[in-house]
Amino acid sequence: MTDAAELRRRTREFLAAHPPAATGRDAFLKARFDAGLAWVHYPEGLGGLGAPRTLQAVVDAELEAAGAPDNDPRRIGIGLGMAAPTILGFGTEEQKRRFLRPLWAGEEVWCQLFSEPGAGSDLAALGTRAVREGDTWVVTGQKVWTSSAHLARWAILIARTDPDVPKHRGITYFVCDMSDPGVEVRPLRQITGEAEFNEVFLTGVRIPDAHRIGEVGDGWRVAQTTLMNERVSIGGARLPREGGMIEPLARTWRERPELRTHDLHQRLLTLWVEAEVARLTGERLRQQLVAGQPGPEGSGMKLGFARLNQAISGLEVELLGQEGLLYDDWTMRRPEGVDFFGRGAGYRYLRAKGNSIEGGTSEVLLNIVAERVLGLPPEPRTDKDVAWKDLAR
């Protein structure tokens, strides 16, 4: 079994054969994948060595100390955090070998075509249709709140393939080529002024059956893997102590003593402690992932992430007073990744408002925690056994 010492030896041998200063970035990343040092817990040949997930930190520390390039996770986060674990769990061997290497190396950006304007928080009520024609599926519908669609080559997509069964049972999961005819991406300008999100229109898009992930009609089960990993990747990202949203607030407090008041000090201490508790809880959650797929605990992490970010960014603006209200970059930009913590206080305050919507609304996540973590009685659902076509819309 691969242990920390063995991984450290492998990593140092890899660095000796591929010195970062003398190896091009793309070549280095592809070689790292092929050496099994991309995701050490993935199978051999797919970027890993079948080692415990916790040992990834050993590899990362060696590579960072050597000045090795990373794969720009901010830009390809959807592929890394959502598409990859889903393809690994449900994809065919051919799909795994086609998609995982260029995904990890950052050659191909991914996006997520799940949410729809007509479905709201009830994702299973989606109406995008996929009709089979031989070995091809013809997809028509509209998706919304799609991060990075303007950059993406591929998308993970769920569509309705059987309207005659209840909503959760008639969904199938696909990989959609964003460069195909019939795919139209339109920017959605946000409160920050930029257009990180998009709406995507699908008009007769032809997807080969070879790009179906999982069985026909089993897309909801496949999508649960995506959603649970999404919530972990948003709410449970690895941060250093005093990292994330609390870092700029604590730095301002130390550097600007003229802004301090007793009341703000007490509130800052409370939020600092909560941020540290959230960080340590995230570490514990990642340790639990070693045993298998993420569970509903990720929903609790994502809930806390949204609440805490909004409270911290609000206190930062309050601490800065009039200065905190300044936001001087309303440029219509098309960013290359999701940025929760960067730029100024005004940006952080505005951007944090989306934390309680993206990756599952806080209201939906509260239900998940109540039912699947606390074991409380589920809410009545009168539409569970009704065919999708008969639902009121």
Query: Does one domain contain both 204 and 128?
Result: yes
Query: Does one domain contain both 362 and 239?
Result: yes
Last residue of a domain, one of 65, 96, 118: 65
Task: Give the C-alpha separation, 127 to 115, whole Å.
Answer: 10
Quick: pLDDT tens for 311-326: 999 999 999 998 887 7
- Residue in 230, 297, 316, 358 annotated catalytic: 230
Query: Does one domain contain both 155 and 293?
Result: no
Task: Give the C-alpha separation, 262 to 114, whole Å.
Answer: 46
Query: Does one domain contain both 136 and 57?
Result: no
Domain range spanning residue 141? Answer: 109-220
Task: Give the C-alpha separation, 75 to 72, whole Å.
Answer: 6
Respond yes or no: is residue 323 known to be catalytic. Answer: no
Quick: pLDDT tens for 149-173: 999 999 999 999 999 999 999 999 9
How far CA 180 is from CA of 75, 80, 98, 173, in Å, comes to 22, 23, 18, 17
71 in a structural domain: no
Query: Does one domain contain both 360 and 244?
Result: yes
Last residue of a domain, one of 200, 220, 240: 220
Query: Does one domain contain both 282 and 368?
Result: yes
Task: Give the C-alpha separation, 194 to 332, whole Å.
Answer: 5
Query: Does one domain contain both 141 and 11?
Result: no
Answer whether 180's CB lies under 8 Å from 206's CB.
yes
Answer whether 84's CB lies under 8 Å from 156's CB.
no
70 in a structural domain: no
Query: Does one domain contain both 258 and 237?
Result: yes
326 in a structural domain: yes
379 in a structural domain: no
Query: Does one domain contain both 252 and 343?
Result: yes
Query: Does one domain contain both 212 and 247?
Result: no
Q: What is the 3-state secondary structure (H, E, C) of the chain?
A: CCCHHHHHHHHHHHHHHCCHHHCCHHHHHHHHHHCCCCCCCCCECCCECCCCHHHHHHHHHHHHHCCCCCCCCCCCHHHHHHHHHHHHHHCCHHHHHHHHHHHHCCCCCEEEECCCCCCCCCHHHCCCEEEEECCEEEEEEEECCCCCCCCCCEEEEEEECCCCCECCCCEEEEEEECCCCCEEEEEECCCCCCCCEEEEEEEEEEEEHHHEECCCCEHHHHHHHHHHHHHHHHHCCCCCCCCCCHHHHHHHHHHCHHHCCHHHHHHHHHHHHHHHHHHHHHHHHHHHHHHCCCCCHHHHHHHHHHHHHHHHHHHHHHHHCHHHHCCCCCCCCCCCCCCCCCCCHHHHHHHHHHHHCCCCCHHHHHHHHHHHHCCCCCCCCCCCCCEHHHCCC
Q: How many CA atoms lie within 13 A of 175 on its CB side?
A: 28
Domain of 139, CATH number, reads 2.40.110.10
Q: Amino acid identity, residue 206?
A: R
Domain of 262, CATH number, reads 1.20.140.10
Query: Does one domain contain both 236 and 354?
Result: yes
99 in a structural domain: no
83 in a structural domain: no
Q: Count how many domains the chain has.
A: 3
Per-residue pLDDT tens listing for the chain (393 residues): 578 999 999 999 999 999 999 999 999 999 999 999 999 999 999 999 999 888 998 999 999 999 999 999 989 999 998 999 999 999 999 999 999 999 999 999 999 999 999 887 789 999 999 999 999 999 999 999 899 999 999 999 999 999 999 999 999 999 999 999 999 999 998 888 888 889 999 999 999 999 999 999 999 999 998 988 776 666 556 778 888 899 999 999 999 999 999 999 999 999 999 999 988 887 777 666 655 555 666 777 888 889 999 999 999 999 999 888 777 666 777 877 777 777 789 889 988 998 888 777 888 888 888 888 888 998 888 888 899 998 887
Task: Give the C-alpha separation, 393 to 383, whole Å.
Answer: 12
303 in a structural domain: yes
Query: Does one domain contain both 186 and 243?
Result: no
Whole-model pTM? 0.87
Within 10 angstroms of residue 22's Cβ, the number of other Cβ atoms is: 7
381 in a structural domain: no
264 Cβ partners below 8 Å, 6+ apart? 315, 318, 319
Last residue of a domain, one of 189, 220, 251: 220
